[in-house]
């Protein structure tokens, strides 16, 4: 450790810490509760909500623990009648601007804000709501911004800045400087939903698709199919009070059947298809040395980012569709034919960790036989709401398998949900195909991890594959700028818009932070370890699919491939 | 050898004239000693508060002295670039002339955006850098990491003016007073530092013949004093504003202060953004909830992010206590 070790006292107890840590960080690490709203460990301390105030012996006044560095020998008190009085007043003032829409709020019963109100005996109606007439904004089909709930912490502004998207502006309005979507034609939302993850007040949420899904479920004429994304299996449990990273795949299938699913499928199966197709494309591009580096395209926020901010890189995106799109397309063709179900009656509902997936399903270029592969996307949070409204507690669900034919993915299809997972899956298959023999070592641990950018070089026979991986679009931007300077820097680049990949997606349970993302990702790797088949190309389902259905290039292209094009600004206000 | 300017400033005990009164010599010394490849000087001419206009007076009459002061700072701390951060109106009025006087010296005029007090030094650094109008967390202090993360010396217009005077041996322990409100001869006066408020009013033939209150040190956050409290020097930015007790509308006055602060604050922290809004709301309704407003004042003073919020209740507290006395007296 480079940092010096220091000793501090918090409320009489002694703690060891590193120089450079803030008081709040040390408190959190040691389970000492200090209330806060604007603090998020992904972002710079804002010190704007003024709730994390503490007193430091020998110093006059109060200090926000989120922004005050601990010093050796500090003696800190986190509570006193005076501190409580200040916190209470700040909470009252915060609630005075925020309008309470608790019933329909994305934060639901997990709302820290509301919990603090109870803890501090705050009268929510002490003042008239200042923002009662503030407008709502909708960003594409993905994100809903109720600005009357906004408490001006500006976390979304900073997060969007970190994503290199900069969709939020601070604008002067009636003597206030307020957060608002930008009018700049050169900046547009890419729907990643990271603003939602970092919003403490529930002002930002996904566009609610639960009513549409309920409607479809109630329609006797519809055949409702649910399909679950790789990453949601280690996150949905959190919504029901389960530990971080617990695998709830089987309980999820059971729960979906209870709400009326005709079939429950696993998108990881289609991730295996994506892997096989993407590995083929990679081998093709690497051997022909054309269209390099190749970029992954299963993250729809990343795709929109390229289409809007870096259209010159569109040819670098793999033409392979995302797993949810492939599976929806297969369900409405191959499956429908086999099961003799009218594809027009099939309603495919995807359970995704992601708000950008709601945008992805609106792409016309994905239509298969005139039908949308996916009809609705529910985020992990929305699924939890749907289940709860049906009085279903995931913890009490039995273990059930998914439905044939899309029930058994390989380990490769599971790890898609973590940053580096797509790369590792593609590598397993590409190396296998290029070497033509069984792999001794299946794990490519050099591409795993939570670092925001990673590089690796993989040697396969006489080919050296230079790989770049980034999570977070700000990091993606860095990689793109590198490639502009040195086009041969990488051969294969995996980008996930969200930190940690899909397990940190904009549709995932709240809270989400670095530690939580790590546990969720570990959960996926644990499942992979236990799988007998861990190479996508060895999947029995995939093998059968290619034998029975993917018999010519046209049909493969129709279901599995696409093209992208430059986007104009979609969100104008 | 001639004594260096920092020693001279120390000898003269020059305190910053922006309002906070920090010893100038110490500030210069800190920046001189701070390590950094580049150093910056910022001359603060934002003069945002109502009823304070002595920097305008100095810019109008003695711009060369101010530039001389900046030159001295160049020599003393070895800075590469200086900025003069000018309120919009001052930029319009004096920008051209300043540019001519500056010639090819590395002094840049920066026009302050409208609608924000923005006298706070870290806000100024952010603005010049093209960042958001928000104060920064301190430490680091700007003498260490200010503009573009470099050691930065920031002083008010009047401070640079007097640095020049001190260097020439022409300093006579004076300061500039903005006298205004219900007075016969409003204007800017140069008088001894130690002059009491009463003396300033008398010397300038402005002592009122009616019952009055004085606001001293700034037209929004300056303290409110009654007749019998004027036996001390004017602090802060050196302004004295007179209100006629027979005409005063206390609620309107408070509403104006709150409005000014609300327009001018950065809206970053809760007490300042929401607390002042609620004060304004109460003043507009002419109905102060005494208990609640005290809690808001307390919150502002103890929990605000920067000095603007912490100092915001001063005038309100003063006026409210005087209102009680006035009402009780009647």
User: B35: which DSSP letter?
Assistant: -
For A358, residues 6+ apart whose C-beta sits below 8 A from its C-beta are A140, A141, A142, A191, A206, A207, A209, A352, A377
Q: Which pLDDT does position B116 carry in this prediction?
A: 65
CATH 3.10.20.600, chain B: domain bounds: 176-244
Q: Please tell me the predicted confidence (pLDDT) of residue A102.
A: 87
> What is the pLDDT confidence band of residue B1, given thresholds at 50, 70 and 90?
very low
Is B267 part of the contact surface with chain A (CB cutoff 8 Å)?
yes
Q: Do A90 and B115 touch (CB under 8 A)?
A: no
| Encoded tokens for B148 | 């573009």
**Which residue(s) pair with B81 in the sheet?**
B40
Determine, for residues B302 and A61 on separate chains, whether the beta-carbon distance falls below 8 Å: yes
**Domain B5-168 in CATH: superfamily?**
NADH-ubiquinone oxidoreductase 51kDa subunit (3.40.50.11540)
CATH 3.30.70.20 fits A97-206, yes or no: yes
Tokens encoding A311: 């259209």
Domain B250-329 listed as CATH 1.20.1440.230 = yes
For residue A123, with 0-12 CB atoms within 10 Å meaning exposed, 13-18 middle and 19 or more buried, which class applies? exposed
B172: exposed, middle or buried (Cβ count in 10 Å: 0-12, 13-18, 19+) = exposed
**A47/B137 Cβ within 8 A:** yes
CA A406 to chain centre: 23
Q: How far apart are CA A137 and CA A135, in angstroms?
A: 7
pLDDT of residue B7: 95
> What is the four-CA torsion angle of A338, A342, A344, A348, rounded to 10 degrees?
-50
pLDDT at B71: 96
Nearest to A417 by CA among A278, A341, A525: A525
User: Residue A70 corresponds to which tokens in the numbers above?
Assistant: 């601990």
Over residues B110-147, the pLDDT tens digits come to: 999 876 666 789 999 999 998 888 888 888 999 999 99
**Is residue B182 a contact partner of residue B240, using CB atoms and an 8 Å limit?**
no
CATH of region B176-244: 3.10.20.600
Q: Which residues on neighbouring strands pair with residue B174, listed in sequence order?
A: B192
**Cα distance from B271 to chain A (closest Cα, Å)?**
6
Q: What is the pLDDT of residue B48?
A: 86
The span from the CA of A422 to the CA of A36, in Å, is 36
Quick check: bond before A124 cis, omega within 30? no
Both structure tokens of A458: 């993989």
Distances from the Cα of B317 to the Cα of A38, A458, B155, angstroms: 30, 70, 29
Chain A residues within 8 A of B133 when measuring between CB atoms: 170, 177
Please state the rounded mean pLDDT for residues B180-209. 97
List the one residue out of B172, B162, B322 whose CA is nearest residue B248: B322
Q: Is B289 on the interface with A (CB under 8 A)?
A: no
Contacts of A97 in chain B (CB under 8 A): 274
The string of pLDDT tens digits covering residues B87-103 is 999 999 999 999 999 99
Judging by beta carbons within 10 Å of its beta carbon (0-12, 13-18, 19+), is residue A161 exposed, middle or buried?
Answer: middle
Architecture in CATH for domain A5-79 = Roll (3.10)
Q: Cβ A96–B303 below 8 Å, yes or no?
A: no
Q: Is the pTM of this model over 0.90?
A: yes
Say if CB A557 and CB A563 are below 8 A apart: no
Strands A223-228 and A346-352: parallel
Asked if B115 and A172 come within 8 Å (Cβ–Cβ), the reply is yes
Q: In which residue ranges of chain B is CATH 3.40.50.11540 found?
A: 5-168
- If you measure CA to CA, which chain A residue comes closest to B273? A176
| Cα B7 → chain centroid | 25
- For residue B121, the surrounding DSSP H or E stretch is helix B121-128
Report d(CA A235, CA A500) in Å as an integer. Answer: 13
Query: Are A293 and A492 contacting, i.e. CB atoms less than 8 angstroms apart?
Result: yes
A172 reaches B (C-beta below 8 A): yes
**What is the C-alpha to C-alpha distance for residues A319 and A288, in angstroms, rounded to an integer?**
16
Beta bridge partners of B133: none
What's the mean pLDDT when you consider all of chain B? 93
Contacts of A513 (CB under 8 A, 6+ apart): A40, A41, A42
Token pair for residue A415?
């790890």
Confidence tier at B19 by pLDDT (50, 70, 90): confident
What number of other Cβ atoms are within 10 A of residue B321's Cβ?
12
Backbone angles phi, psi at B213, to 5 degrees: -120, 150
B302 to A170: CB separation less than 8 angstroms, yes or no: no
> Which pLDDT value is given to residue B158?
97
Q: Is A19 within 8 Å of A5 (Cβ atoms)?
A: yes
CA distance to A224, A239, A256, A352, B260, per residue, from A392 (Å)? 18, 12, 10, 19, 54
What is the least distance, in Å, from the CA of A86 to any CA of chain B?
6
* Mean pLDDT, residues B55-61: 97
- For residues B230 and B287, what is the distance between their CA atoms, to the nearest angstrom? 30
Dump pLDDT digits (tens) for A312-350: 999 999 999 999 999 999 999 999 999 999 999 999 999
pLDDT at position B328 is: 67
Contact A246, A240 (CB under 8 A): no
How much is the pLDDT for A226? Answer: 98
Q: Buried b vs exposed e over A346-376: b needs ≥16 C-beta within 10 Å?
A: bbbbbbbbbbbbbbbbebeebebeebbbbbb
Query: Does any CB of chain B come closer than 8 Å to the CB of residue A259?
Result: no
- Give CA–CA dist B228/B239, Å, rounded: 18
The pLDDT of residue B151 is: 96
Q: At what angle do helices A267-288 and A421-435 cross, to 10 degrees?
A: 60
Q: What is the ipTM of this complex?
A: 0.91
Give the C-alpha separation, A50 to A57, whole Å. Answer: 19
Query: According to the model, what pLDDT value does residue A325 have?
Result: 98
Judged by CB atoms closer than 8 Å, whether chains meet at A89 and B296 is answered as yes
pLDDT of residue A432: 86
d(CA B52, CA B156) in angstroms, rounded, equals 13
Contact between A127 and B273 using a beta-carbon 8 Å cutoff? no
Phi-psi region for residue A289, left (φ > 0), alpha (ψ -120 to 50) or beta?
left
Sheet holding B174-181, edge to edge: B187-192, B174-181, B239-244, B212-216, B223-226
Contact B277 A45 (CB under 8 A): no
Neighbours of B98 (CB within 10 A): 22
- The low-confidence residues of chain A, meaning pLDDT below 50, are 1
Residue A137 contacts residue A181 (beta carbons within 8 Å): yes
Residues of chain A with CATH 3.40.950.10: 225-560
* Class of residue A188 by CB neighbours under 10 A (exposed 0-12, middle 13-18, buried 19+): buried
Q: How close B18 comes to chain A (CA, Å)? A: 23
User: What three-state secondary structure class fits B217?
Assistant: coil
Q: Report the C-alpha gap between A28 and A516 in whole angstroms.
A: 14
Do A212 and A374 form a contact (C-beta atoms < 8 A)? no
Element (H, E) at A335: none
Measured between alpha carbons, how far is A34 from B316 in angstroms, rounded to an integer? 32
pLDDT (tens digit, 9 = 90+) per residue, B254-281?
999 999 999 989 899 999 999 999 999 9
Cis ω on the peptide bond leading into residue A375 (within 30° of 0)?
no
- In the DSSP assignment, the letter for residue B275 is I
Q: Is the peptide bond before A294 cis (omega within 30 degrees of 0)?
A: no
Phi-psi region of B135 (alpha: psi -120 to 50; beta: other; left: phi over 0): beta
d(CA A550, CA A493): 27
- The pLDDT > 90 percentage for chain B reads 84
Instruction: Provide the token pair at A400.
Output: 């059930």
Residue B133 sits at the chain A interface (C-beta within 8 Å): yes
Q: What share of chain B is helix, strand, coil (3-state, %, to 5)?
A: 45, 15, 35
* Number of inter-chain CB pairs under 8 A, A vs B: 73
Q: What is the CA radius of gyration of chain A?
A: 24
Q: Which CATH number, 3.90.209.20, 3.40.50.720, 3.40.1030.10, 3.40.950.10, labels domain A225-560?
A: 3.40.950.10
> What is the edge-to-edge ordering of all strands in the sheet holding B40-45?
B107-111, B81-86, B40-45, B152-156
């Amino acid at each position: 450790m480079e940092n010096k070790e220091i000793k501090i006292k918090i409320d009489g107890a002694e703690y060891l810490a590193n120089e450079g840590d803030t008081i709040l960080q040390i408190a959190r690490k040691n389970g000492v509760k200090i209330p806060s709203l604007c603090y998020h460990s992904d972002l710079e301390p804002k010190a704007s909500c003024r709730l994390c105030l503490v007193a430091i012996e020998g110093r006059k006044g109060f200090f926000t623990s989120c922004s005050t560095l601990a010093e050796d020998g500090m003696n800190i008190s986190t509570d006193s009648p005076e501190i409580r009085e200040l916190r209470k007043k700040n909470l009252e003032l915060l609630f005075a601007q925020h309008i309470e829409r608790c019933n329909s709020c994305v934060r639901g019963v997990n709302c820290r804000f509301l919990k603090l109100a109870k803890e501090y005996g705050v009268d929510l109606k002490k003042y008239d709501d200042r923002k009662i007439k503030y407008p709502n904004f909708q960003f594409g089909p993905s994100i809903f911004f109720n600005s009357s709930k906004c408490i001006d912490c500006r976390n979304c502004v900073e997060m969007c800045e970190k994503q290199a998207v900069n969709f939020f502006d601070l604008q002067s309005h009636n003597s206030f400087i307020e957060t608002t979507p930008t009018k700049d034609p050169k900046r547009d939302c890419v729907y990643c939903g990271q603003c939602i993850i970092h919003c403490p007040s529930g002002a930002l949420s996904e566009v609610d698709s639960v009513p549409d899904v309920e409607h479809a479920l109630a329609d006797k004429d519809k055949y409702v199919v649910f399909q679950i994304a790789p990453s949601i299996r280690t996150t949905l449990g959190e919504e029901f009070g389960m530990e971080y990273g617990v695998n709830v795949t089987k309980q999820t299938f059971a729960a979906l059947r209870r709400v009326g699913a005709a079939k429950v499928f696993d998108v990881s199966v289609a991730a295996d298809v994506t892997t096989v197709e993407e590995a083929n494309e990679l081998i093709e591009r690497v051997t022909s040395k054309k269209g390099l580096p190749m970029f992954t395209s299963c993250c729809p926020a990343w795709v929109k980012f390229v289409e809007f901010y870096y259209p010159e890189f569109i040819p670098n995106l793999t033409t392979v569709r995302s797993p949810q799109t492939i599976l929806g397309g297969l369900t409405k063709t191959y499956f429908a034919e086999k099961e003799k179900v009218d594809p027009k009656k099939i309603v495919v509902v995807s359970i995704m960790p992601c708000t950008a997936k709601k945008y992805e399903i609106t792409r016309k270029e994905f239509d298969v036989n005139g039908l949308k592969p996916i009809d609705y996307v529910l985020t992990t949070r929305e699924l939890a709401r749907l289940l709860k409204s049906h009085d279903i507690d995931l913890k009490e669900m039995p273990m059930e398998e998914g439905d044939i034919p899309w029930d058994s993915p390989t380990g490769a299809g599971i790890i898609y949900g973590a940053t580096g997972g797509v790369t590792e899956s593609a590598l397993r298959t590409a190396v296998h195909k290029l070497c033509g023999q069984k792999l001794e070592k299946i794990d490519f641990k050099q591409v795993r991890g939570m670092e925001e950018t990673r590089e690796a070089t993989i040697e396969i026979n006489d080919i050296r594959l230079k790989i770049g991986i980034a999570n977070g679009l700000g990091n993606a931007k860095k990689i793109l700028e590198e490639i502009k300077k040195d086009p041969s820097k990488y051969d294969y680049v995996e980008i996930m818009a969200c930190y940690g990949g899909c397990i940190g997606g904009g549709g995932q349970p709240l809270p989400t932070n670095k530690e939580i993302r790590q546990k969720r990702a570990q959960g996926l790797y644990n499942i992979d370890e236990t799988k007998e088949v861990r190479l996508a190309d060895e999947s029995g389902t995939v093998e059968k699919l290619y034998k029975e259905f993917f018999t010519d290039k046209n049909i493969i292209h129709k279901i599995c491939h696409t093209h992208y094009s430059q986007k104009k600004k979609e969100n104008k206000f | 050898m001639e004594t260096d300017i920092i020693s001279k400033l120390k000898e003269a005990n020059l305190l910053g004239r922006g309002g906070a009164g920090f010893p100038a010599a110490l500030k210069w010394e800190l920046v001189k000693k701070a390590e950094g490849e580049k150093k910056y000087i910022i001359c603060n001419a934002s003069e945002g508060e109502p009823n304070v206009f002595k920097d305008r007076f100095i810019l109008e009459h003695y711009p060369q002295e101010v530039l001389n002061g900046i030159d001295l700072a160049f020599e003393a701390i070895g800075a590469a670039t200086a900025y003069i951060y000018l309120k919009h109106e001052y930029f319009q009025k004096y920008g051209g002339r300043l540019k001519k006087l500056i010639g090819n010296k590395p002094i840049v005029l920066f026009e302050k955006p409208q609608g924000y007090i923005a006298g706070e030094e870290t806000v100024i650094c952010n603005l010049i850098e093209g960042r958001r109008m928000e104060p920064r967390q301190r430490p680091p202090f700007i003498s260490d990491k200010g503009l573009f993360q470099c050691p930065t010396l920031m002083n008010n217009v009047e401070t640079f003016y007097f640095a020049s005077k001190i260097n020439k041996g022409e300093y006579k322990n004076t300061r500039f007073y903005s006298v205004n409100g219900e007075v016969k001869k409003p204007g800017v006066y140069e008088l001894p530092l130690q002059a009491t408020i009463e003396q300033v009013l008398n010397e300038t033939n402005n002592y009122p013949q009616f019952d009055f209150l004085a606001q001293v040190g700034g037209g929004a956050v300056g303290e409110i004093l009654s007749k019998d409290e004027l036996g001390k020097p004017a602090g802060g930015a050196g302004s004295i504003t007179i209100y006629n007790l027979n005409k005063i509308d206390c609620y309107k006055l408070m509403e104006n202060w709150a409005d000014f602060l609300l327009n001018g604050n950065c809206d970053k922290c809760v007490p300042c953004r929401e607390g002042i809004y609620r004060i304004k709301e109460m003043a507009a309704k002419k109905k102060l909830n005494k208990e609640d407003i005290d809690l808001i004042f307390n919150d502002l003073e103890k929990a605000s992010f920067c000095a603007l919020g912490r100092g915001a209740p001063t005038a309100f507290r003063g006026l409210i206590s005087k209102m009680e006395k006035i009402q009780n007296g009647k």
